[in-house]
Amino acid sequence: MSRLLRAVGIIAIPVVSLPLGMAAADAATVPKPPSKTLPAALDIASPYQPQTTCDPVAKPGAVAFAELMKAYYAQTSATTYGISRNCNSGVTEHSEGRAVDWMLNVNNPTQKAIADSVTQWLSAPDAQGRPGAMARRFGIMYIIWNRKMWRAYDPGRGWAPYSGPVPHTDHIHFSFSWDGAMERTSWWTGKALTVVGGKSGSTPAPTTPTTPTAPPAPTANTPYPTLAVGANGPDVAVAQKALKVTADGAFGPQTLAALKAWQTAQKLPVTGVLDAATWTRMIALRLVPSRPVAGTPSTPPTTGTPTTGTPTTGTPTTGTPTGQTQTGVTKTRTVANPGAATAYTALMGTVLKTGARGESVKALQRALGGLSVDGQYGDRTATAVKTFQKANQLKVTGVADKPVWTALERRDYPMKPYYGTVLRLGSEGAAVKALQTALGLKVTGVYDLGVVSAVKQFQGSVKLASTGTVATVTWQAIEAKLRRR
């Protein structure tokens, strides 16, 4: 093997290490992966760095990687990709501009061959046996393709089964560490990265996968929860009305900007968070209604514990689900239809077609992926809408209407139908099956002690009270975990 090939780390690996359904790419139709002179030293493997902020502007490393693939495979029609996404879709590196969806379809033989070739190239060990050598040179954290997932931070798992709500059969997902996203790795610099950096390059990042940290609890005299970018629900809508922005219940970039401006005008700490000081000022100015504080409920608190011998069946509730709490959420407070708003709620009545312009078009373009987010509904956007409509068995019109928004919401919020459903020991039915599937449990449709144990373990892992009861907050946390990849 030549010195160049040794440096690049392109070697053959057994087919069994590839994603499900992969086969060696046809050398006659698929070009060998790109190569260049690289240092003998190899970059440190990327840790798992989950999205923690709302900053969807495409980062240079993600753009450079996507453009490299686009240019290199330009003759094979594998040239469409997407990076940015809204900040109300659960934890996803797309919302920090450091994830790339390369639109290759497993049902297109040429595109599948390219995808198989590239994912093999990135995840394979090099001549020195270092796993995922090329992925490390790009700062790639993980890859998802064709129902399989490979992790740079856990390469020993190989291409493990992936059971998220999106099978990734019509695109490859690449998530980058901050070093990869900011082009600090050896493919771009010619020098192996030896220290893990954060967004600025100087903040050490966690070296093991973590779960998003719940926001801090409000002070004792603040009846509203602390809410940050990515939050959803009626409390967000209450604040949005006070801030005079669209009250869609989704805490996104527009709400963040308005909140910071309001905090500045009120001479409050500009945190960009709906915190205790902000809520207190809003209450004092009568911009939001006052409420009983925790510890002085207006109605007797409930425990969410089922009466012995009367198991529930998982029916929708009309108020706040009981039996679970989240940091910063008052357990005994009743709210109508909690958490119902999504990033698409305010768009359901919007109809977009060729010639349309504005923020709604940008939201559509981000959601569809593979488009320039320019706010102009041109031919490429119309084509992307048609492709989405066809894939979702909708009438193919090229017009983004309620069925399109509904399908997007169903894709991005798979647990939304169950937000108002409370499950506990003894519950049965479709909601239990959905829960069991999401948690990777045997699907029986019966909420038994094994399910209770799994739910408690999950709740503890995401900083919820480990009650073993599932209601809105837990459903949303499960959804966030599913969408994390």
Percentage of the chain surpassing pLDDT 70?
Answer: 75
Look at residue 208 and tell me if it is in a domain. Answer: no
User: At CA 479, angle to CA 475 and CA 481, rounded to 5?
Assistant: 120
Look at residue 403 and tell me if it is in a domain. Answer: yes
> What is the maximal distance between C-alpha atoms in the chain?
76
pLDDT in tens, 205-253: 444 443 333 333 333 345 677 777 766 667 788 898 899 988 777 777 7
Is pLDDT of 8 > 70? no
pLDDT in tens, 263-310: 888 888 888 888 888 988 888 888 888 765 433 333 333 333 333 333
Quote the pLDDT of residue 191.
93
What burial class does residue 42 get, using C-beta atoms within 10 Å of its C-beta: 0-12 exposed, 13-18 middle, 19+ buried?
A: buried
- The SS3 assignment for 289 reads coil
Look at residue 304 and tell me if it is in a domain. Answer: no
The residue-averaged pLDDT of 352-379 equals 86
Of residues 181 and 18, more confidence is placed in: 181
* Last residue within a domain, chosen from 354, 383, 412: 412
Look at residue 133 and tell me if it is in a domain. Answer: yes
Quote the pLDDT of residue 223.
62
Q: Do 406 and 271 fall into the same domain? A: no
Q: Do 361 and 442 fall into the same domain? A: no
CA 217 to CA 276: how far, in whole Å? 8
User: At CA 262, angle to CA 256 and CA 264, rounded to 5?
Assistant: 105
Q: Do 421 and 407 fall into the same domain? A: no
Quote the pLDDT of residue 338.
41
Of residues 248 and 174, more confidence is placed in: 174
Contact 58/83 with Cβ under 8 angstroms? yes
Quote the pLDDT of residue 87.
67
Domain that holds residue 104: 3-189
Q: Do 408 and 420 fall into the same domain? A: no
Q: Do 401 and 429 fall into the same domain? A: no
Cut 0.85: pTM above it: no
pLDDT in tens, 98-154: 999 999 899 989 899 999 999 999 999 988 889 899 999 999 999 999 999 999 988
Contact 353/398 with Cβ under 8 angstroms? yes
Q: Supply the CATH number for residue 353's domain.
A: 1.10.101.10
Q: Do 29 and 95 fall into the same domain? A: yes
- The SS3 assignment for 409 reads helix
Instruction: Supply the DSSP symbol for 422.
Output: -
Average model confidence (pLDDT) for the chain? 76
Of residues 184 and 485, more confidence is placed in: 184
Q: Do 54 and 18 fall into the same domain? A: yes
Is pLDDT of 58 > 50? yes
pLDDT in tens, 374-393: 889 999 999 989 999 998 89
Q: Do 47 and 64 fall into the same domain? A: yes
pLDDT in tens, 437-472: 889 899 999 999 999 999 999 888 877 788 889 887
Contacts of 89 (CB under 8 A, 6+ apart): 95, 343, 412, 413, 483
Q: Do 403 and 453 fall into the same domain? A: no
Is pLDDT of 183 > 70? yes
The residue-averaged pLDDT of 384-413 equals 91
Look at residue 36 and tell me if it is in a domain. Answer: yes
Which residue type, as a one-letter code, is found at position 64? Answer: A
Domain count for the chain, please give it.
4
Contacts of 67 (CB under 8 A, 6+ apart): none
Is pLDDT of 75 > 90? no
Quote the pLDDT of residue 452.
93
- b/e code 105-144 from CB counts within 10 Å (16+ = b): ebeeebbbbbbbbbbbbbbbbbeeeebbbbbbbbbbbbbb
Quote the pLDDT of residue 358.
86
Banded pLDDT at 341 (limits 50, 70, 90): low
Of residues 366 and 338, more confidence is placed in: 366
Q: Do 39 and 156 fall into the same domain? A: yes
Look at residue 194 and tell me if it is in a domain. Answer: no
* Last residue within a domain, chosen from 189, 223, 257: 189
Is pLDDT of 317 > 60? no
User: At CA 268, angle to CA 264 and CA 269, rounded to 5?
Assistant: 95
148-151, strands of its sheet edge to edge: 81-82, 99-102, 172-176, 140-145, 148-151, 160-161
Look at residue 429 and tell me if it is in a domain. Answer: yes
Of residues 385 and 412, more confidence is placed in: 385
Q: Do 73 and 173 fall into the same domain? A: yes
Q: Do 50 and 180 fall into the same domain? A: yes
What number of other Cβ atoms are within 10 A of residue 482's Cβ? 19
